[in-house]
Structures are given as structure tokens and as C-alpha cells.
Amino acid sequence: MLIWVLSDLHLAISVPEKTMEVFGLPWKDYMQRIERNWKDAVGPDDLVLIPGDICWAHKMEEAMSDLKWIDALPGTKVILKGNHDYWWPSSKRLKEMLPPSIHYVYNNVLNWNGVSIGGTRLWDSNEYSFDEIIEQIENPLEKKKTKEEIAEEKLQAVKIFDRELDRLRLSLSQLDQNAKLRIAMTHYPPISHDLKDSRTSKILETYNVNYCVFGHLHNVKKNAPIFGEKNQILYVFASADYLGFDPLMLATV
């Protein structure tokens, strides 16, 4: 079994007006490119990890068209909630409604063919910044925020991040320590791009994680040296636009 990762698909089948093609040439025909590259690479017995920002839908019923599109692609898929997955419902509804080839990780662990997978979304951290590796491109859909709104967001971010760390501990504590591989999925990066220790990285080390896969960042400079291996954990950045909408092979089991 090959294990692949591709994050931040940002599918817009359910809400075509939200297509990422608004960001220009790098995103042109991105859904067609994802489909073509996925079918060329992934086999029916493979596992594909999708750590967040799956589609732009706002409700589960709306998201089903995007999820069925993913379901029709080869392999077994594992999804994680991203900051733009507004449609994400309760775990009970996910179990009831997810198409058969799609599983989820959220405050739980998925054990699959000798691989144990846990994780959580995370959030912005004041421990590190990625400004120096990002090409700043204005988002034409983004609403401008006041100074007061930005200050309030920073206060809330601290609370959300602390809560997410608790969720990470809860999930990773359930990992099978006898598994061939232990993988953490996060949406936000768990560590700085130059691999300085973080609160999150120390938690990942505590639970003997082998790989941590994540996305969230866009417009990352192609020549920027980012992430890699630290203390026996391989940190893998997998946003779809960074990978050219081509699934990245993570490991073989």
C-alpha cells in the first residue's frame, strides 16, 4: 500500500462561484488537474490523506457533491477538518453520510492496514510566522478588517490554539504504538518552516509520531527551504497549489 498526501483541494463543485480560479493562472483548471494527477498516481489499494480545506460548501448536504467527487477517485481517503470546511458536521453525521471510500480523523484515531492516524486542525500560533516564505497576493474575496477586529482575532486565536492542543493530545493518545507507521494530520503547520521546537512538535514527539502532514499555507515561494525532518519526525507540507495539484507519495507499507 502506498500512502499519499494532498491538502487544500478547495473544491467548488457545490458552490462554483467560489472557485479558486479567481486567483489566476496558478489555479487554472485546478480541479481537472487534481483529478488527472490523482488517477495517474494513486492505485485502488492506496491511502490518500487530505489534511483540510476540502471544499467551499457551508452545509453537509451541499458538500456531498464534492465528497462524491473525491469518493469516485482511486484509493481510500482520510480527511481532516480545515479552517474553511464550514460544512463539517458532528462525528455522528459524518459516519452516517460520508461516502464509502472516505474516512475522517477528528478527536479520534483511524487504524488502517498497519497505519495509525490521528490529529486535529490546530490554529494560528504566535510561536512562528510564515511571512518570509509567502508571496503576498491580495485575496479579491477577502473582507478588510478593522484594527479592533484584528486585535480581537488575536485574543481568540490564543484560546482556540490551546483548545486544539488539547484535542491533539486526546487524539494522539489513542495511536497504536505497535503500528508500522504513526501519522499525525494537522491543517495548520505544527512547527516553523525552519523547524524550531514548538509546543505542537513536542506533543508529536511525546506520542512517537513518524510523519506529520499539513497544508493551509498558499502562495509559498518555490525556492524557500521549508520543513523536513526534526527529532525523527518528517514534517510534510502538502498544499495542493504548492505540489502542482499532484499527490505526494509519503510512504510504502
Q: Of the given ranges (8-22, 98-112, 144-158, 172-186), which has the lowest mean pLDDT?
A: 144-158
Q: Average of pLDDT values for 173-189?
A: 98
Structural domains of the chain, with CATH: 2-252 (3.60.21.10)
How far apart are the C-alpha atoms of 119 and 95, rounded to whole Å? 17
What percentage of the chain's residues is helix, strand, coil (to nearest 5)?
30, 20, 45
Per-residue pLDDT for 140 more than 80? no
Average pLDDT score over the chain: 94
What's the pLDDT score for residue 139?
A: 62
What's the pLDDT score for residue 152?
A: 78
Provide Rg for the chain, Cα atoms. Answer: 17
- Burial of 104-127, coded b for 16+ CB within 10 Å and e otherwise, reads bbbbebbebeebbbbbbbbbbbee
The sign of the torsion formed by the CA atoms of 162, 165, 170, 173 equals negative
What digits encode the pLDDT tens for the residues 15-24?
999 999 999 9
Stretch (H or E) spanning 112: strand 109-112
Q: Average of pLDDT values for 15-42?
A: 96
The four Cα atoms 100, 104, 108, 109 give a dihedral, to 10 degrees, of 70
Per-residue pLDDT for 147 more than 90? no
Determine if the pTM surpasses 0.85. Answer: yes
